[in-house]
Chains A and B, each alone.
Chain A
Amino acid sequence: MNVSQPNFSARLSVALRAFWRILNDAAFAGGVLRLESGVAAPPALPDEPAKSAPLRETSPDAAMQLLALLQQEGRFVDFLEENVTAYSDAEIGGAARVVHEGCRKVVRDYLKIEPVRAENEGARLTLAAGFDPATVRLTGNVVGQPPFTGTLMHRGWRVAQITLPKLADGHDARVLAPAEVEL
C-alpha cells in the first residue's frame, strides 16, 4: 500500500477510525486540528525520549586499572599472552601459582566477592514469585508459574564492594605494565 497516497477504501477506513478517535482522544483531536491548520507538531516532550536502545558505554579506565593490578601482582597479562601449548603441565603449574597467588591478592584487596546464594551447590531450593532474574538464572525445564523448585548448580558470585585506587588526572591507564629497562 502506498502510505503517502492511500486509495479510496484505505481513505474510508482511516476516516472512520479517525472519526471515532477524534471523539475519544483529546490529544489526537488537537493533532488533527494542527494538521488541518498547517502548524508544525510541537517537539517531543522530554519525558518521551527518542527510542534508542538503553545501552551505556562502560568506562575503560577501571577495566584497564584492574588489568594493570592483576599484571602487577599476578603477572596476569604475561600469562594470557603466552603460548601454553609449548610447555608441560608442570611448567604451567609453576607459573599458575604466581598468577593464582597474585591475582587472588588483588581480588581480595580491592573487591569483596560473595556468593549470590548461600546454599550448597546441589541443594534443592525454591524461588518465590518476584525473584530477581538478574541474580538467579533459570535453566532446563523452564515452564509454569513461580514458585519454582530446582537444584542449585552454581552459587553465583556478586561483588559486594569494590575500592580501586584513585588515579591521577593525567595518568595513562592504557599502560598495563611499563617496559623495564635496567641501566
Chain B
Amino acid sequence: MSEARYAVGIDLGTTHCVMAAVDLAVEEPDGAAQWTVPVPQLTAPGAVEERPMLPSFLYLPHPDELKSEDRILPWGEPQPFVVGELARAMGSRTPIRLVASAKSWLCHPGIDRRAAILPVEAPEEVERVSPLQASIRYLEHLRAAWDQRYPDHPLAEQDVILTVPASFDPAARELTAEAAAAVGLSRLVLLEEPQAALYHWILAARGEWRKQVQVGDIILVIDLGGGTADFSLIAVTERDGSLELERVAVGDHILLGGDNMDLALAHAVRAKLAEQGTQLDPWQLQGVTHGCRSAKETLLGDAKADAVPVVVPSRGSKLIGGTLRTELTRAEVTQNLVDGFFPSVEASARPAIRARAALTKLGLPYAQDPAMTRHLAAFLARQVGATRDLAGFENRLPAGATFLHPTAVLFNGGVFKAQPLLERTLEVLDAWLAAEGAPPVRLLEGADLDLAVARGAAYYGFVRRGRGVRIRGGTAKAYYVGVESAMPAVPGMEPPIEALCIAPFGMEEGTHAELPPQEVGLVIGEPVRFRFFGSSVRRADQVGAVLERWAPEEIEELEEIEATLPTEGRQPGEVVPVRLRAAVTEVGTLRLEAVPRAGEETWKVEFDVRGES
C-alpha cells in the first residue's frame, strides 16, 4: 500500500459526524494544512448540499416514499436508505422509520449489537438494521464523500483516526473498529474523544500550550455532546526536562447531552401551555423543541434579552390562524438548564439512582439523574487516587481531600457555546476546590466546540508520526474474569465469584499482558462464558491478582465474554485447561485469547455475545 498522504480524523458522534484532515506532507500543521472536509448529503428530496457535519441519522423510507432519483448522491447509485440531514428531517415526521443515536446503542450492554433491532419502534415490514450496520452506513457515506473529493488519495489508503467516547467498553470499541474495517479503512486507530479535544487545544495554541500548563497540572476535560457526557483527567508530567501529558482517568458512560436539554425546555413550555389550556400534539411539541433550541441560544448568548418568543407554526398551509405563540423567559432557561442540569451542589453530592420499573421497554439506558455536576462530583471523588502513584504528584493533594483536585478545565461540545452553563460549571468546581483549600481552576480556551474532536483527531495522525507531544495513558481500566472460588458449596447460595486480573491498568497500544498463572477450563465444541469485569480505579493490580471481595463502586461488571474451542482433532466435551491472555491491538481495541497449556494455537475470546445463544 502506498504511503498515506493525509491523516483523517472522523468524529462519529451520537448526533453528528465530522471529518477533518491534515496534510502529512507539511512540516507543522497550521490553518492551511488542516481543514474540515465538507460532506455532501441530501438536504431535501433530490437536493444535495455540502455541510460541515453529517447528522448521524439513518432513515429507512417506504418504497413509495421517495423516487429513486430523489435519493441520488454525487456518487453511485441511489441507496434504499437516507443518511444525514434529510434522514433527520424525514424522521422528525415519521419517527418509526428513523434510526437515531446508533452510537449509544453500540455501547448498550443489554442488547446484541449485531442484531437488526433499529428502529426499535418500527413496524414489522420495515427492514431493521443493527447498531453496527447503522455505524457502517455513516462511515460509508463519509468514505464516499472523501473519495469523491480526493479520488487520487482514497480514504482506505489514508491514516484514519476514529474517535470513541473515553467511556466506551471493550466490546463497543471492537464494534467501532469492525464498522471501520467493513468500509475498508485498514489504516485505523481509535482515539478517545476528550483526548482528541485536548489535541485540538494543543494544535490551536501552537507552541504556546507549554506556557499555559505546568508540571503538576491536572486537566479535566468535560466533553458534553448531543447525546453523551464524557469526562477525562489528564496529568501534566515531565520527562527529561520536557512536558508530557498522561491520561490518568476516564469517567463512566453517561447518556446525557445537549438534546436532553432542548427536550427539557420543550416540556417546560408544554407544561406552561397546558396550564393555559392548550394541549400540544406531537407535531407541535417538535416545533416547540425546535423553537426552544433557538430561543435558548438567544437567551444564553445575549445577556440583554429577558424573554424570547417561541412560535409554533401550524402544520397546514394556514400559517397565521393556526400559529401558536408563547415565550421562553430567562428565568425558565435558568431554572431548567442551569439549575436543572448544572445545579450548585456539594462535592459530596452523588447522582440519584432510581430503581428501574420492572417492565421497561427496550430502550437506551439514559442517565437517570440529569445533574451534570453530580455526575462530575462522583467522577472526581472516585478518581481521588488517580495521581497517587504518578511521579511528581505524590503530595499534590492535601491529606483530607475527598476528590481529585483538577487545576485546569477544557470544555468541549456544542452545549458549552452557552456561556452561563460553562460559567456555572466553573463556579461549582471552584466552590468544591475552595472548600478543600485548593486554588480555582484555570479555563483552557478551546476553539470550535463542534469540530474540535475531528480536527484534534486528524492532528493526532500527525503526532503519531513523532511530530508533537503525545498523550500517554493506555487502557483506562483493569480487566478481570470471574472464576468460581474453591470454597465448599453452601446450599441455596451461588458459589462466590473471584475476580482474576488478566489485563492491568494502562496497557499501551500494541502490547500484550503476561499470561496469568491461573488456568480456566474450556469445553471443546461448546461456547463457554465467563463473567467479565472492569475497574477504573484499581491501578495496582497485576496479571494473576485474585480479588475475593471488592467494593461495588470499585469494579463494574461488563458483558460476559465467550470462548469456543473448535472440535478439530479433539474429543467434543473434553475439558482443556487454558490461560487467558489480554492484548491491546495497534488499532486500540482490547483482544482476549485463550492459550492452551501446550501447542502454538490460540483462540480468540469474543466480546458482545449476548443474543447469540
A residues near B (Cβ < 8 Å) are 65, 68-69, 72, 75, 78-79, 81-82, 84, 87, 91-92, 94-95, 97-99, 101, 165-172, 178, 180
B309 within 8 A of A: yes
Question: B237-277, CB under 8 A of A: which get 1 and which 0?
Answer: 00000000000000000000000000000000000000000
Q: Is the CB of A167 within 8 A of B47?
A: yes
Residue of A84, A170, A171 ringed by the most chain B CB atoms within 10 A: A171
Within B36-82, the residues touching A (CB, 8 Å) are 40, 43-49, 67, 69-70, 72, 74
CA distance A92 to B322 in the complex (A): 11
Can you list 25 A-B pairs, Cβ within 8 angstroms, ordered by A? A68-B44, A72-B44, A87-B320, A92-B320, A94-B309, A95-B311, A95-B313, A95-B320, A97-B325, A98-B311, A98-B323, A101-B294, A165-B43, A165-B47, A166-B74, A168-B47, A168-B48, A168-B69, A168-B70, A170-B46, A170-B67, A171-B45, A172-B46, A178-B45, A180-B93
Within B294-325, the residues touching A (CB, 8 Å) are 294, 309, 311, 313, 315, 317-321, 323, 325
Q: Closest chain A residue to B313 by CB distance?
A: A98
In the complex, what's the smallest C-beta–C-beta distance from A75 to chain B, in angstroms?
5
CA distance A97 to B74 in the complex (A): 35
Q: Is the CB of A171 within 8 A of B47?
A: yes
CA distance A180 to B317 in the complex (A): 10
- B45 neighbours in A (Cβ, 8 Å): 171, 178
Q: Is the CB of B320 within 8 A of A65?
A: no
From known contacts A94-B325, A170-B46, infer whether A78 and B317 are also in contact, taking CB-CB under 8 Å: yes
CA distance A95 to B318 in the complex (A): 10
Q: Is the CB of B318 within 8 A of A78?
A: yes
CA distance A15 to B46 in the complex (A): 69
Q: Is the CB of B46 within 8 A of A171?
A: yes
Q: Is the CB of A165 within 8 A of B313?
A: no
CA distance A50 to B318 in the complex (A): 51
- Contact with A166, one of B49, B67, B294, B317 (Cβ below 8 angstroms): B49
Q: Is the CB of A65 within 8 A of B319?
A: no
CA distance A87 to B45 in the complex (A): 34
In the complex, what's the smallest C-beta–C-beta distance from A16 to chain B, in angstroms?
69
- Say what secondary structure dominates the interface of chain A: helix
CA distance A134 to B325 in the complex (A): 43
- What are the 4 A-B residue pairs with the smallest beta carbon separation, nearest first? A171-B46, A170-B69, A165-B47, A165-B49
- Contact with B319, one of A68, A75, A178 (Cβ below 8 angstroms): A75
- A91 neighbours in B (Cβ, 8 Å): 320-321, 323
- Contact with A171, one of B69, B313, B315, B323 (Cβ below 8 angstroms): B69
In the complex, what's the smallest C-beta–C-beta distance from A30 to chain B, in angstroms?
57
Beyond A78-B317, A78-B319, list 12 extra A-B contacts (CB 8 Å): A75-B319, A82-B320, A95-B319, A95-B323, A98-B311, A168-B47, A168-B69, A168-B70, A169-B69, A170-B69, A171-B45, A180-B93
- B325 neighbours in A (Cβ, 8 Å): 94, 97
Q: Closest chain B residue to A80 by CB distance?
A: B319
- B74 neighbours in A (Cβ, 8 Å): 166
- B49 neighbours in A (Cβ, 8 Å): 165-166
- Contact with B311, one of A68, A69, A84, A97 (Cβ below 8 angstroms): A97
From known contacts A95-B319, A168-B70, infer whether A75 and B46 are also in contact, taking CB-CB under 8 Å: no
Q: Is the CB of A98 within 8 A of B47?
A: no
- A101 neighbours in B (Cβ, 8 Å): 294
- B44 neighbours in A (Cβ, 8 Å): 68-69, 72, 165
In the complex, what's the smallest C-beta–C-beta distance from B326 to chain A, in angstroms?
10
CA distance A92 to B294 in the complex (A): 21
CA distance A84 to B318 in the complex (A): 11
Q: Closest chain B residue to A169 by CB distance?
A: B69
CA distance A68 to B311 in the complex (A): 21
In the complex, what's the smallest C-beta–C-beta distance from B78 to chain A, in angstroms?
9
CA distance A2 to B287 in the complex (A): 77
Within B415-435, the residues touching A (CB, 8 Å) are none
In the complex, what's the smallest C-beta–C-beta distance from B133 to chain A, in angstroms?
25
Q: Is the CB of B319 within 8 A of A82?
A: yes
In the complex, what's the smallest C-beta–C-beta distance from B309 to chain A, in angstroms?
6
CA distance A75 to B136 in the complex (A): 36
Q: Is the CB of B48 within 8 A of A82?
A: no
Q: Closest chain A residue to B315 by CB distance?
A: A180
Q: Closest chain A residue to B89 by CB distance?
A: A72
From known contacts A78-B318, A94-B325, A101-B294, infer whether A166 and B47 are also in contact, taking CB-CB under 8 Å: yes
CA distance A14 to B69 in the complex (A): 67
- B72 neighbours in A (Cβ, 8 Å): 168-169
CA distance A172 to B319 in the complex (A): 25
Residue of B45, B93, B294 ringed by the most chain A CB atoms within 10 A: B45
- B313 neighbours in A (Cβ, 8 Å): 75, 95, 98
CA distance A171 to B49 in the complex (A): 14
- B319 neighbours in A (Cβ, 8 Å): 75, 78-79, 82, 95, 98-99
CA distance A167 to B40 in the complex (A): 12
CA distance A72 to B313 in the complex (A): 12
Q: Closest chain A residue to B324 by CB distance?
A: A94
In the complex, what's the smallest C-beta–C-beta distance from A112 to chain B, in angstroms?
15
